[in-house]
Each structure stands twice: as C-alpha cells, then as structure tokens.
Structure 1
Amino acid sequence: MEVKIGVQHAPREIVLESGQSAEEVENAVADALSGKATLLSLVDDHGRKVLVPSERLAYVEIGEPTARKVGFGQL
C-alpha cells in the first residue's frame, strides 16, 4: 500500500510502501486527527517506523501499490 503524507512547513511529502491495509492506515490517521493519538505512526515494508506529529499533518493520500514490470516486452 502506497501512502503519501504531507507535513506542514515541510517542502517534500513523505512517501512509503506499507504492508498495512487501507483500513489500518485510515484508522491510524483518524486517531491522530481526533486527538486520540499525538503521533501518526506507520510501519513501512522494511520495518522502519515513520512518526509524524498529528498537529503537523497536512494530508494523507492512501493508494494502491504500483506493479513493477520486469522484462523487455513491448508496452
């Protein structure tokens, strides 16, 4: 699952591939925005944890992972 996180006052967005489902990511974002959690905490495919303070969240985009093509076939 590809997740893009916009952070206020930061020039670049955070992009990560997560093994979490869309519902799990959405629940984590909802908890951070509602005040239940002070940090948005997500884990990427490599086991690294990404922590973003909830008051700095600008947007979160949840998308499907892109399939990587291998080979030399025609497009």
Structure 2
Amino acid sequence: MEVKIGVLHAPREIVLESGQTPEEVERVVAEALAGKSQLLSLVDQHGRKVLVPADRLAYVELGEAAPRKVGFGAL
C-alpha cells in the first residue's frame, strides 16, 4: 500500500510502500494525532522505519500501490 505523508515546512512529501494494512496505518496515525505518541512510526516494505514528529504532520494519504510497468511498450 502506498502512503504519502505531508510534513509542515518541508517542500516534499514522504512516499513509501508499506506492507501494513490501511487499518493499521490509520490507527497509528490517529494515535499520533491524539497525542498518545510523539512520533508517527511506519515501516516500509524493505524494513526501513520512517519516523515523523506528530506535531509536524500536515496530512497522510493512503492509497493502493501502482503496478510497476516493465518494458518499452506504448503507454
């Protein structure tokens, strides 16, 4: 699943492919925004952890992963 995270005062968004379910990601984001944790912590498909301070979150967008195109065929 693709997750896009907007961070306040940052020119670019963070984009990662997560193996977590949309419900798990939504729960973690809700906990960070409710003040239950200081950091939003997500793990991507390669096992790398992404940490974002909860007070710097602008938005979190959840979506399906786009299939990767292979080859030189017409678009």
Which structure 2 segments of 5+ residues have no match?
none
The separation in 1 between residues aligned to 2:7 and 2:69, in whole angstroms, is 31
Q: Secondary structure at the match of 2:16?
A: strand
Match of 1:60 in 2: 60
Percent pairwise identity:
77
Trace 1:7-46 onto structure 2 (pairs within 5 A): 7-46=7-46
Check if 1:6 corresponds to 2:2: no
Runs of 4+ in 1 over 4 A off after TM superposition: 71-75
User: Residue deviations 1:12-31, cap 9 Å, x none?
Assistant: 00000000000000000000
Tell me the CA shift for residue 68 of structure 1. 1.6
TM-score (norm 2): 0.92
RMSD, matched Cα? 1.1
Aligned residues: 75
Give 5+ residue unaligned stretches, structure 1.
none
TM-score of the superposed pair, with normalisation by structure 1: 0.92
